Amino acid sequence: MCEKILNTKMKNETFKTDDLNLASALKATGYAIEVEMVSPTKAVFCIPHTTKLDDDVSSFWSNGLPVSPLLFQSSKIGLLQIINRLKGVQ
This prediction's pTM:
0.83
Let me know: does 15 contact 53? Beta carbons within 8 Å: yes
pLDDT of residue 11: 52
Taking 60 as the threshold, does the pLDDT of residue 43 lie above it?
Answer: yes
Let me know: does 67 contact 28? Beta carbons within 8 Å: yes
Question: Would you list the domain boundaries of the chain?
Answer: 8-87
Q: Average pLDDT over the chain, rounded to whole?
A: 87
